[in-house]
Amino acid sequence: MPVIKSVNGKSPQIPEDCYVAENATIVGDVVMGKDCSVWFNAVIRGDVNYIKIGNKVNIQDGAVIHATYKTAPTHIGNNVSIGHNAIVHGCTLHDNVLVGMGSIIMDNCVVESHSIIAAGAVVTQNTHIEAGSIYAGVPARKIKDISEELIAGQIDRIANNYIKYSSWFKE
């Protein structure tokens, strides 16, 4: 049974069509959209500020979603994939974003739509990722513009696959 817990009178709001793995943790002021999935050992901690998650978002194994007390909530748009062991902290991810495995996105960053944060990238505080970009490295830098094929081939495919994968666990 997942840990779903109220903190300071705020309880997570999770639609019935979402999948939450047995050992995932979701606490506090967290609002999730439809068709989301939260995978094994993922933590969404809305204890110090709120976290809003759009529709069709997958938060993969070991990922941590958090915020900063009073200053930096976390906003995640629609059709977003957050890879294994990624950290998304006090930032805004617009629609159609892929956050690669093990990457870190820090406070007050904004990742515009149709963007990819490569695996292992570190997006430092206050960075603005322009729409249609791929960022990689430590610290993360723009490496190229994203193609329409990559949007369909990676961002859309992964988000859609995670809806399929979560259906296997709901049976």
Instruction: Give the chain's mean pLDDT.
Output: 96
CATH number, domain containing residue 63: 2.160.10.10
The total number of structural domains that make up the chain: 1
Print the domain residue range for 85: 3-170
31-60 pLDDT, tens per residue?
Answer: 999 999 999 999 999 999 999 999 999 999
Note the pLDDT of residue 149: 76
Above pLDDT 90, what percent of the chain? 91
Q: Is the pLDDT of residue 133 over 90?
A: yes
Burial 145-168 (b: 16+ CB within 10 A, else e): ebeeebbeebbbebbeebeeebee
Give the Cα separation of 17 and 4 in Å (integer).
Answer: 16
Task: Give the 3-state secondary structure of residue 79.
Answer: coil
10 Å Cβ neighbour count for 39? 22
Residues 6 or more apart whose CB falls under 8 angstroms from that of 59 comprise 36, 37, 38, 39, 42, 44, 53, 65, 82
Give the Cα separation of 10 and 136 in Å (integer).
Answer: 36
Q: Is the pLDDT of residue 170 over 90?
A: no
- Out of 9-23, 126-140, 150-164, pick the least confident: 150-164
Backbone φ and ψ for 89, nearest 5 degrees, come out as -135, 110
Note the pLDDT of residue 171: 67
